[in-house]
Amino acid sequence: MSGLRMAATVFAVVLAMGTAGASKAEAPSIEAYGASPAVDNMELSPSGELIARIVVVDEVRALAVTRVKTGEHLFTASIGDAKVRDLRWIGDRHVLIVSSQTQSIPDLGMPRSELFYGMILDLEAKTLAQVLSRTPDVLASPYGGVEVRRTSRGEIALARGVNVVTGRIDLYRIDLSTGRGRLAETMDRDADDYVLDGEGAVIAVSRYAERSGRWSLRLPDGRGFREAWAVDALLDRPSFCGLGRTSRTIIVNAERPDLTADDVESETGFLLFEVNVDTGEWTRLPFKRHPDFLFHHPRTGLLIGSGNIEAEGVRYDFFDVEAGRRWRGVERAFPGKALRLVSWSDDLKSAVVFSDTGESGVYHLVDFDAGVANVVGDAYPSIPEAQVGEVRPIRYSAADGLDIHGYLTLPPGAGAPANLPLVVLAHGGPASRDVAGFDYWAQAMASRGYAVLQANFRGSLGYGRAFLEAGYGEWGRKMQTDLSDGVRWLVAEGIVDPARVCIVGASYGGYAAMAGLTLDKGVYRCGVAVSGVSDLRRMVNREAYLDGERNSPTVRYWNRFMGAARLNDRSLDALSPAMLASAVDSPLLLIHGKDDTVVPIEQSRVMAEAMRRAGKPVEMIELPGEDHWMSRADTRRRMLRETVRFLEAHNPPVEGGAAMTLSGGATSR
């Protein structure tokens, strides 16, 4: 195939989605950015003949199944306001929908948390069955997700379920018609993960003892499993990454200095090994770079490639010759676009590809035999291409010389930016990262005239082990000044006005927003903290209480990143914005979801009360029914409206205000 051609055909949208776009001169409303993506979780069926997707109108979601060649709608049904987390085919007849709810189960002593549920649609019978329903003594909430296999005997689904009587978390095979589970493999609570072969048989199990930190690999031995390798891993423990290149090998991500002494780019120092489950032999996989993710064949489940997140987007590397050839054809057909492979048919002859470079997100259906790519959905149809701000990859030096990478989003049409107001948008995690492409939050603020800086400060993922470890113990310290060093660099470049800078963020980014006003003063005119941590010691103590263990893996993780020597380490108070409220000299807006099970709302309430006691300007907005991830469109819209209102009140996107002098400096690269 010499290349793909772009076709004008667009599949009919199942529901009216309000696609009337804004004019070139008029910016879309904030509601347009805060809306849930109009099309989400799009998947091709194994045959490539059908396509399933979640269509969203306001808070109402619908599952839609369409025949590719004719556009015939085979199934459309509302699934209400469910928070859909995944969508997958089980053969061409069944569709799996995974959703979540924030709830507690007091009778089992289960605190408020995010519980996952699976529903299986039978396209022929037009019925829905709940995964693990009517399974005796087992919660109808899959533990660790649902596995799908297309075996020689047909399609199957398996999921672990919590037995409320025995406390075991066994693996069950799911009846696709009724959802009822039948025991497939016994597993206790220390069973950390497992790998299935192509026929759905368990061929490897890992165990992890949280108290001791002992991780072990168990491989088949007769009718049971034997321990083949073990390691003490109090913090970074090995993990499974699915099947290897054959049906009797698995991928293990682990540190094995006894097998290789190579220096690697991975954040943990781990390498990817292919382990033969029959012989126990370990072989290092031939990747030039440690992958950010692996890609398995949609039918066999065997490893065929990998991907890395780079400054311009995702780069795929396939060692399967046919898959590599087809993907290179896709890249040639979309020059200048950062593409993401969403779904592939079993025969690799058709694929769904997503692009959001200079646009608000478009799904394309690629037919390799016909050499055609058709548009099949828009993520944000009311945000036209002309109103998408340019996203520039940037690089600058922190005060100590460390290279910091990130992205600068400019207001639409700002060809030669100068003296712009700036919003620093700090990502969560902190072991996470910002990526290239359309970011609804950054684009919303850019549409109002702000430049938006998203810096991958030290401690972020994607830049190797040394960069991640450079963030350990740097909450409120160098992780914080990496952000303000970016401000100084943009000022030196003449792009932003130093007198008009605010900081915004969620989760860890919410902490960074509060820390920017308390620990890194003199840079920001205001701050907006969404779902942020304000009292570090209180946060870690809560995790220990919920885990029922003073030295749980969660506590060990946070102590390492925050720099604490032990649980209840009072040195964390000096890094906690709630303890430093009297030092704040800029207005602060706090926004928090009442259903947040990751960072409890008390963290924002504590900060608000501390600010009020100190007589400092603060606003607190609580979002009913919202979780940590702003999953609901109505509250996400409110979050954006309140954020922009606050920014425009305290850092208007027009000239004005006394200039600030920024201390220190950053070297341009």
pLDDT tens sequence across 72-87: 999 998 887 788 899 9
Residue with tokens 């999953």: 631
- Per the CB < 8 A criterion, the answer to whether 178 and 129 are in contact is yes
Residue in this structure with the two tokens 């990478």, named with its chain if needed: 405
Q: Is 34 exposed, middle or buried (0-12, 13-18, 19+ CB in 10 A)?
A: buried
pLDDT for residue 293 is more than 50: yes
Say yes or no to pLDDT of 546 above 90: no
CB 542 within 8 A of CB 600: yes
Cis ω before 286 (30° cut-off from 0): no
Residue 667: CB atoms within 10 Å:
14
Task: Tell me the C-alpha distance between 158 and 260, whole Å.
Answer: 35
For residue 662, name the pLDDT band (cuts at 50, 70, 90): very low
Estimate to the nearest angstrom the gap between the alpha carbon of 219 and the chain centroid.
31
Q: Which structure tokens are listed for 130?
A: 């709940």
Q: Which long-range contacts (CB under 8 A, 24 or more apart) does 101-107 make?
A: 102/595, 102/597, 102/627, 105/139
Structure confidence at residue 1 (pLDDT): 37
Per-residue pLDDT at 50 exceeds 90: yes
> Which is it for the CA torsion 106, 108, 111, 116, positive or negative?
negative
The answer on pLDDT for 261 being more than 70 is no
**pLDDT recorded at residue 264:** 56
Residue 104 — very low, low, confident or very high, per pLDDT cuts 50/70/90?
A: confident
State yes or no: pLDDT of 216 exceeds 90.
yes
The beta-strand segments (E) located in 141-238 are 143-151, 154-162, 169-174, 181-185, 191-196, 202-209, 214-221, 224-232
Q: For residue 538, give every residue at least 6 positions away whose Cβ sits within 8 Å of its Cβ, in sequence order, or none.
A: 576, 602, 603, 606
In angstroms, the Cα distances linking 418 to 90, 233, 452, 499 are 53, 50, 13, 13
Res 404: pLDDT: 98
Quote the distance between the C-alpha of residue 397 and its chain's center: 27
Q: In the prediction, which pLDDT does 19 show?
A: 38
**385-410, pLDDT tens digit by residue?**
999 999 999 999 999 999 999 999 99
Band (pLDDT 50/70/90 cuts) for residue 135 is very high
pLDDT at 661 over 70: no
- Locate 318 and state its tokens: 């396939």
The mean pLDDT of the chain is: 90
Assess whether pLDDT exceeds 70 at residue 8.
Answer: no
Over residues 546-556, the mean pLDDT reads 82
Q: In one letter, which amino acid is 185?
A: E
Please enumerate, as own/partner, the contacts of 96-103 that have beta carbons within 8 Å and a separation of 24 or more. 96/120, 96/121, 96/131, 96/146, 96/148, 96/157, 97/54, 97/63, 97/121, 98/142, 98/145, 98/146, 102/595, 102/597, 102/627
pLDDT band at 358 (very low <50, low <70, confident <90, very high): very high
Burial class of residue 304 (count of CB atoms within 10 Å of its CB; 0-12, 13-18, 19+): buried
Distance in angstroms (rounded) separating the CA atoms of residues 549 and 552? 5
Q: pLDDT-based confidence at 250, cuts 50/70/90?
A: very high
Token pair of 504, please?
């915004």
Predicted pLDDT of residue 666: 38
Whether the CB-CB separation of 482 and 469 falls below 8 Å is answered with no
309-323, 526-540, 596-610, 639-653: least confidently modelled range: 309-323
Q: What's the pLDDT score for residue 654?
A: 75
Cα 339 from Cα 409, distance rounded (Å): 19
CB 145 within 8 Å of CB 88:
no
The confidence score (pLDDT) of residue 550 equals: 82
* pLDDT over 70, % of the chain: 92
Nearest to 317 by CA among 299, 351, 292, 354: 292
Nearest-10 Cα torsion for 158, 160, 161, 167: 150
Which residue from 324, 326, 448, 458 is spatially nearest to 387, judged by alpha carbons? 448
